[in-house]
Amino acid sequence: MTTSQAYGPIAPVLHVFEQAGGWHWGITIPRARGSGFKLIAFSEKTFLTENAARRDGRQALVNLAGSGTCGPLVTESAGEQLL
């Protein structure tokens, strides 16, 4: 990552994962200067299926993008572009 990339728009990324017998989602953004990622949102609810967690996480991404908190590009950890 170059210095100019570090100061560009921040694109949140949706991660869906199984943990403790259920499905969850988390949304991360890159930390400044390439030092990892910061968790900015996560599911408090445990979902029975991966698809249910993904749908809820996508809605959270749409809400974040609409709030102007993050950059306009919204992605998923699988590399799919949503908006």
14-67 confidence digits (pLDDT tens): 999 999 999 999 999 998 887 899 999 999 999 999 999 999 999 999 998 887
Residue 34 structure tokens: 């390439």
Residue corresponding to tokens 């408090």: 44
- Whether 23 is covered by a domain: the verdict is yes
CATH code at position 72 = 3.10.20
- Whether 81 is covered by a domain: the verdict is no
Range of the domain at 55: 3-76
- Whether 15 is covered by a domain: the verdict is yes
- Quote the CA–CA distance of 12 and 29 in Å, as a whole number: 5
- Whether 55 is covered by a domain: the verdict is yes
- Whether 82 is covered by a domain: the verdict is no
State the total domains in the chain. 1
Residues recorded for the chain: 83
- Whether 47 is covered by a domain: the verdict is yes
